[in-house]
Structure 1
């Protein structure tokens, strides 16, 4: 019962947040008096679909997105490669300590020489995005262990991506608090979805919202915050 109550609260909070954003943008939204019923119906639908995930290994289920410390935001980044068209994609989502989305981004870039270069460019873009939006205390999180290790390293990197790492270290000094963390792919699904969106959209930013294709995984992250 306690778990169900939390899930209903998460659904309701998300519905209120999305309604606020739609009203601010002048878009149609459900009446305030219907939010509770809408959240209940959404939770019921989610619970009916849940058995399809029953065979996921326990170790995979344990990997989940976790909110940043109080007064911080977390910027998750990911990259995607579209080699057939010579392009790559960057996806970024910034969320607050309650798990609510502050901003999201998808962006196309020319295809770099390696997948690692795509990831390090995505990490740098996450910092620039957070800075552009005025965030001062940021946790940056991605699923490339090599990139997170390189960013946190103190040895000068002389590889092709060394200059990007230097840019990241320089940008890091703009924040009063900055931390770089690694998470497995299972906990970075929203950023991955956003990176894949770049195949169709050269550049899009969503304020306090996510695109429909990423909404389900974003909602799942909220439900897992227990």
Structure 2
């Protein structure tokens, strides 16, 4: 496993990320905490672009858990049938919507434990919602972050929880809020799995290039 970058290098990495993209944004379209939660839940094993195509017309009709319940599961399936695992995801969205109405007053909770108690909502989904809607410095580790964190030495770890903790422990606090978005975007568009584009990488001189031929 590649070694953890020293603190001085970590600061340089995130200073460069911030300089190139001062306010990184998630790419899932949403209008409030509820539509963000639904979009993130639907995005498992799917692309953000594919989810956005499905949810644009859906979110014109639905923006609250109660409206989702009124829409109904079959109508929801019609909206999201282009997304992988759509039937199971539809069931979970309906279940979590009912729980939000019955147990949370129709509001999306802002604690990780409460979010993870909802059907179809795991740690990564909870962390995305907490970060994107409430601005908490949570770290949602997906395949892009896991790869970049280990390849560059930013936050090496043997599994997603280890990488999440390494980010929390080693990324300077003033970069923590946007850290996971910078890493996702870097992995999605620069440090790609099969052929990383080191020629345009802003941290190439700081990177040990672990796993890069």
Same-fold status (TM-score > 0.5): no
- Structure in which a larger fraction of residues adopt helix: 2
Normalised to the residue count of structure 1, the TM-score between the two structures is: 0.28
| TM-score, structure 2 normalization | 0.30
* Greater relative CO, 1 or 2 (CA 8 Å, sep 6+): 1
